Amino acid sequence: MKDNMTFLELVNKRCSVRSFSPTMVEINKLNKMLFAVQLAPSAVNRQPWKVYVVINKETRVALQACYDREWFRTAPVYIVMTGNHDESWKRADGKDHCDIDIAIATEHLILEATELGLGTCWVCNFDVQKCKEALGIISKSEEPCVIVPVGYPADKNVWEKTETKRKLLTEITQYFY
């Protein structure tokens, strides 16, 4: 992995990793990822998130029941990002910015993981109720939004091999001069 990547090189490198080595992620790397979450901006600086770092086998197995995929079971660590709708900012028209804030914080986490040589994948299609039960979440206002499996990729060349398909800039951009 190249040292001193530019931001655009880092963003371009990030990809969804769906096969992990059993090697455990070092605590100092997890802490760096959590620090990146702490620095993430949020609407009116409410920071309506909570981060669950799941390492122990019992809770990992419970989370695997939320998203039953073989590749998902290979991750040594899961990070669950939850949002608290009672804490999040609401715009004048009532739009709740919780999901936006969680997405920004999650992207900070994932980009830091990539910089540290760790693989991740956004997982949003999971059984929310089973996830809440696995983590002991009883609050109605706290919602699990994304599970991020984290680990060293089984294929060390995954970043070079994975093509990311993106729309052309002309398809997503409109200038007003």
pLDDT on residue 42: 97
Beta pairing partners, 52: 80
* Percentage, residues of the chain above pLDDT 90: 88
d(CA 131, CA 138): 11
pLDDT at 3 over 70: no
| Distance (Å, whole) CA 124 – CA 20 | 19
Using an 8 Å Cβ cutoff, are 145 and 99 in contact? yes
- Give residue-wise pLDDT tens across range 58-115: 999 999 999 999 999 999 999 999 999 999 999 999 999 999 999 999 999 999 999 9
Compute the half-sphere exposure of residue 132: CA atoms within 13 Å on the CB side of its CA.
14
What is the average pLDDT across 23-28?
Answer: 98
CATH 3.30.70.580 given to domain 7-172: no
